Amino acid sequence: MTELPYPLPSTAVAMLLADARLPSGGHAHSAGLEPALRAGMAVADVPAYLLSRARSTGLVEAGTAVVARHVALTDPAGLPAVVQAWAARTPSNVLRGASRQLGRGYLRLAQQLWASSQVLTTVRSWPDPAPRAVVLGVIAAEAGMDPRDLVRLVIYDETASAAAALLKLEPRDPAEVTGWVLHVCAVVDAVVDELALLVEPAAIPADGAPQAEEWAHAHALLTQRLFRA
C-alpha cells in the first residue's frame, strides 16, 4: 500500500480503526476480559466489567489520545511527555507491553496511509514502541479527526474488543453483547466533551484498575491462552 493521493475522510478513518477486522493486533487482545474470566469473574458480571473498564483505564486511554492529538498538531516534540504521563497512569508493565504491541500495529498502518508524515516517522524511530493511545492520537491529528470523535473511538474500540472476545470465550447472543457495548458508549458519552478539551499531559485522567492489573499479570504467566491480554 502507498500513500493515498487524496485525503481520507476522518469518519472513514474512525470506521477503519474501530473495525475488528483490521489486522493490527486487536484480534490478539481481549481488553482484559480473558484474564478476568480466567480469574473467576462470572459471565453475568461482564456488563459491569465493561462499564468499569471504560470509566477507569478507558478514560486514561481516551485522555491520552486526545492530548497526543493536540500535541502532534501544536508541538510534536512534546509527545514523549505524553507517553510518560500515560506510563505513570499505567503502572502494570504487562498492560504497557500489550498497549505498545497494539501501537506498533496501528503505527505501521498509519505510515502506509500517511507516508510523508514527519510526526509518524519520528514516533516510529523511538527506541520503545509508542503506546496505542498515543498512536491513535497522532493518527487523529493526521486525519483531521475531531477530538470528541477520538474519545468515542477509543472507548468503543476497547469495549467492542472485549465484547468480541467474549463471543469466543463464552459464546452468547451477539445482539445481547452488542447492547452492552452500546450502553457503555452511551454512559461514557456524558464526559466526551470534557475529555475532548484536554491539552496538557498532566490533565490526563488517572483512574486505575488494580484488580485488572493483578489479573493481567497472572494471565501473562499462563502457557495456554487465547488472547495475549
Find the CATH number of the domain harbouring 124: 1.10.4190.10
Is 210 part of a structural domain of the chain? Answer: yes
Instruction: Return the C-alpha cell found at 132.
Output: 496505542
What is the tally of structural domains in the chain?
1
The better pLDDT of the pair 219, 154 is held by: 154
Q: The domain containing residue 108 runs over which residues?
A: 40-217
151 has pLDDT over 60:
yes
**Global pTM value:** 0.89
Q: What is the pLDDT of residues 79-134, one digit of tens each?
A: 999 999 999 999 999 999 989 988 998 898 888 888 889 999 999 999 999 999 99
- What percentage of the chain exceeds 90 in pLDDT? 57
Residue range 158-169: mean pLDDT, rounded: 90
pLDDT reported for residue 223: 77
Is 32 part of a structural domain of the chain? Answer: no
Cα(25)–Cα(27) distance, integer angstroms:
5
Is 12 part of a structural domain of the chain? Answer: no
Q: What is the pLDDT of residues 185-204, one digit of tens each?
A: 999 999 999 999 999 999 99
Is 222 part of a structural domain of the chain? Answer: no
Is 24 part of a structural domain of the chain? Answer: no
Is 5 part of a structural domain of the chain? Answer: no
The better pLDDT of the pair 219, 205 is held by: 205
pLDDT reported for residue 1: 42
Is 82 part of a structural domain of the chain? Answer: yes
Is 8 part of a structural domain of the chain? Answer: no
